[in-house]
Amino acid sequence: MAEAAPPAAEVVAFPSSGLTLHGNLYRPPGAGPFPVVVFNHGSEASPHAEGQALFYVSHGFVLFAPHRRGHGLSRDAGEYVGSLQGPDARVAALVTQTDDVMAAVAYVATLPYVDRARVAVAGCSFGGIEALFAAERGTGIVAAIDFAGGAMSWTRSDALRERMKTAAMNLRIPVLFLQAENDFDTSPSRVLFETARAAGRDVRMRIFPPWGTTHEDGHAFCRGGASPPWSDEVLSFLRSVRAFRGRPAVPR
């Protein structure tokens, strides 16, 4: 049986640090108020989040997929991170692009059908790093999901490892770290989980069995769909977050 089609996307504009950025907004039918996941893409030049939208919208969430400066719908606003030379330059860009993530969070909070008390962030690969950095700031969000953040760059940059460890020690909201065993490197999830836990932060981690046969397959574990392998883990995590308790939250 063919998988259900993802919901239609609305292209929206939002401001960030003097730039005008764009993203894709997906919403369930009805008036809300709905919980929200702001999903952060990786380093790809042309991001897409249809699979994530299919999953989250089917569970009663608004899914906002902002395109950070230099990427996709925002390619004319700032420099594409993949064009930067050297891993440390990319780390600096990721830190700057956290402003874009927080601007996206602020934008969704203005939507009349959104429950501003139930906004989470998630991301895959570079987007997982962005979810971690957003969780360090904590403003306007109640939970973060880091899929494979740093899996392809953990060993390439001392600056990245130290910056991510610092973020893990300073988390202001609960964070879930997720990876497949055959990802390029599961050290980021394992090390950051232990670092955050030692600092008394509210964190979970799950390393799933291999997904596919290659490192590339394992890194693509974060892809969504009607019933992704991580669905129960993510929904259980979100239901455990205090802001979702006692509300018509995570409905299905």
Q: What percent of the chain has pLDDT over 90?
A: 77
195 lies in a domain? yes
4 lies in a domain? no
What's the pLDDT tens digit per position in 48-96? 899 999 999 999 999 999 999 999 899 999 888 877 777 778 788 888 8
Residue 3 pLDDT = 63
Domain count, the chain: 1
pTM of the model: 0.93
What's the pLDDT tens digit per position in 180-229? 999 999 999 999 999 999 999 999 999 999 999 999 999 999 988 888 99
* Residue-range definition of the domain harbouring residue 17: 10-244
Residues recorded for the chain: 252
225 lies in a domain? yes
Q: Would you say residue 248 has pLDDT above 70?
A: no
H/E element, 65: strand 62-67
In this structure, are residues 137 and 102 in contact, taking their beta carbons and an 8 Å threshold?
Answer: yes
142 lies in a domain? yes
What's the pLDDT tens digit per position in 125-155? 999 999 999 999 999 999 999 999 999 989 9
37 lies in a domain? yes
Parallel/antiparallel/unpaired status of strands 175-180 and 62-67: unpaired
1 lies in a domain? no
Report the alpha-carbon distance of residue 240 to residue 156 in Å, rounded: 35
DSSP at 122 = E
Q: Which amino acid is at 247?
A: R
Q: Which amino acid is at 164?
A: M
Q: Which two tokens stand for residue 174?
A: 């609960």
Report the alpha-carbon distance of residue 147 to residue 125 in Å, rounded: 6
